């Protein structure tokens, strides 16, 4: 992704009583070297991040993304981010977005080894063209994530459920899915339950009931899924967080991958088996997801 604008944040601790953070932001050239070679984000993937969709200059779901940034930081024993400062940084960056769809990325790294504070920065880039995946859908391959449903509670140091910068495994899973003739992966547990995609949540429809795997299974609590659940409930549908057996991917009336930038991408095939795509309903979901959301 080509970054169009970036700023580095000089972290201010929460509860400082400050209202104006503009002097803590340094605009940098996103094409030039900015970070120190000692950065633990670069050396160890040691940090957390968020990707927000931006539509016509409006950053979507800022509150839920900041809540998840704080949650990820807590799981990683990073200092609590000052959410007022991050909110101000997002507002500053969103001004540069212009019309159409863009992406804002928030990064909070542990910083430089033995350095004084974490390193934090925000970037703005063009969103990839997702038109095809939103209409034609995506073919997924189920891939074993290598742990059981109860692993997150037994091994919290695996940081399952934190949105860490260590996405090498997620990217490897997408490459493996492509080798298998699919577009994307859906991770499953060793004991046979659906988790999430490497960069998206999974949503299933059974009649008037919509289901997603429960976040306690060590997956991210998707902001797009949360926002869609609120819409679906307003429209009279039932929603639920469940343990979802792999077979449900084939039993569901429809299924989607959901994420902040791709939005709702219908699942058009699972391990080579074609699945029904509800184009009209998916278009409605995406029209909602493209409207300004707080
Ligand atoms: N799960 C994973 C592993 C992700 O990386 C993402 C988004 O990047 C999601 C789920 C979906 O989260 P959101 O809807 O907040 O973008």
Q: What is the pLDDT of residues 16-37, one digit of tens each?
A: 888 899 999 999 999 999 999 9
Q: What is the pLDDT of residues 184-233, one digit of tens each?
A: 999 999 999 999 999 999 999 999 999 999 999 999 999 999 999 999 99
Task: Inform me whether the pLDDT recorded for 1 exceeds 80.
Answer: no
Q: In this structure, which topology does domain 131-290 adopt according to CATH?
A: D-amino Acid Aminotransferase; Chain A, domain 2 (3.20.10)
Q: Which residue has the higher pLDDT, 22 or 13?
A: 22
What confidence score (pLDDT) does residue 97 get? 97
Task: Inform me whether the pLDDT recorded for 290 exceeds 90.
Answer: yes
Distance CA 45, CA 34 (A): 17
| % of the chain beyond a pLDDT of 70 | 100
Q: Which residue has the higher pLDDT, 237 or 2?
A: 237
With CA atoms as reference, report the closest residue to 189 among 244, 253, 251, 248.
244
What confidence score (pLDDT) does residue 240 get? 98
- Name the residue of 68, 200, 229 to mutate for ligand 1: max ligand atoms within 8 A of Cβ: 200
DSSP 58-88: EETTHHHHHHHHHHHHHHTTPPPP-HHHHHH
Q: Mean pLDDT across the stretch 256-276?
A: 98
How many A from CA of 201 to the centre of ligand 1?
6
- Name the residue of 185, 218, 220 to mutate for ligand 1: max ligand atoms within 8 A of Cβ: 220
What confidence score (pLDDT) does residue 114 get? 84
Q: Is the CB of 60 under 6 A from ligand 1?
A: no
Q: Which CATH number fits domain 3-126: 3.20.20.70, 3.40.50.620, 3.30.470.10, 3.40.920.10?
A: 3.30.470.10
ipTM comes to 0.99
DSSP 180-247: TT-SEEEEE-TTSBB--BTTBEEEEEETTEEEEE-GGGT----HHHHHHHHHHHHTT-EEEEE--BTT
Distances from the Cα of 47 to the Cα of 69, 151, 162, angstroms: 10, 22, 10
Query: Closest Cα to atom 1, ligand 1: which residue?
Result: 200
How many A from CA of 56 to the centre of ligand 1?
21
| % of the chain beyond a pLDDT of 90 | 95
pTM attached to this predicted model? 0.97
What confidence score (pLDDT) does residue 17 get? 85
Query: Closest Cα to atom 4, ligand 1: which residue?
Result: 199
With CA atoms as reference, report the closest residue to 138 among 83, 97, 183, 93.
183
The continuous run of DSSP H or E covering 103 comes out as: strand 101-109
How many A from CA of 131 to the centre of ligand 1?
18
How many A from CA of 222 to the centre of ligand 1?
5
The answer to whether 49 touches 167, Cβ cutoff 8 Å, is: no
Q: Mean pLDDT across the stretch 28-51?
A: 95
Q: Is the CB of 212 under 6 A from ligand 1?
A: no
How many A from CA of 195 to the centre of ligand 1?
12
What confidence score (pLDDT) does residue 14 get? 84
Q: Which DSSP state fits 162?
A: S
Task: Inform me whether the pLDDT recorded for 127 exceeds 90.
Answer: yes
Average pLDDT of every residue of the chain: 96
Task: Inform me whether the pLDDT recorded for 160 exceeds 80.
Answer: yes
Q: What is the pLDDT of residues 81-118, one digit of tens each?
A: 999 999 999 999 999 999 999 999 999 999 998 888 89
Q: How confident is the model at residue 266 (pLDDT cuts 50, 70, 90)?
A: very high
Ligand 1 nearest-atom number relative to CA 196: 1
Question: What is residue 186's three-state secondary structure?
Answer: strand
Q: Is the CB of 258 under 6 A from ligand 1?
A: yes
What confidence score (pLDDT) does residue 214 get? 97
Query: Closest Cα to atom 12, ligand 1: which residue?
Result: 222
Domain residue spans of the chain: 3-126, 131-290
What confidence score (pLDDT) does residue 242 get? 98
């Amino acid at each position: 992704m080509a970054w169009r604008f970036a700023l580095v944040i000089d972290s201010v601790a929460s509860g400082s009583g400050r209202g104006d953070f503009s002097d803590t932001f340094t605009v940098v050239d996103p094409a030039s070297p900015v970070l120190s070679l000692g950065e633990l984000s670069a050396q160890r993937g040691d940090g957390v991040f968020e990707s927000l969709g931006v539509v016509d200059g409006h950053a979507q779901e800022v509150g839920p993304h900041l809540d998840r940034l704080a949650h990820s930081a807590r799981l990683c024993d990073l200092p609590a981010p000052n959410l007022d400062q991050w909110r101000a940084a997002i507002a500053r960056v969103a001004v540069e977005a212009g019309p159409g769809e863009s992406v804002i990325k928030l990064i909070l790294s542990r910083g430089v080894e033995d350095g004084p504070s974490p390193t934090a920065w925000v970037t703005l880039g063009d969103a990839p063209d997702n038109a095809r995946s939103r209409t034609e859908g995506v073919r997924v391959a189920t891939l074993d994530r290598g742990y059981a449903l109860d692993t997150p509670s037994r091994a919290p140091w695996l940081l399952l459920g934190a949105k860490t910068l260590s996405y090498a495994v997620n990217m490897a899973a997408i490459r493996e899915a492509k080798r298998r003739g699919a577009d994307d992966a859906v991770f499953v547990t060793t004991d046979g339950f659906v988790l999430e995609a490497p960069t998206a949540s999974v949503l299933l429809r059974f009649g008037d009931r919509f289901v997603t795997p429960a976040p306690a299974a060590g997956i991210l609590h998707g902001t797009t899924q949360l926002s869609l659940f609120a819409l679906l409930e307003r429209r009279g549908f039932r929603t639920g967080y469940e343990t979802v057996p792999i077979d449900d991917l084939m039993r569901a009336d429809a299924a989607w991958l959901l994420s902040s930038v791709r939005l709702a991408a219908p699942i058009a095939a699972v391990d080579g088996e074609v699945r029904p795509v509800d184009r009209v309903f998916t278009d409605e979901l995406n029209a909602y997801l493209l409207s300004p959301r707080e």
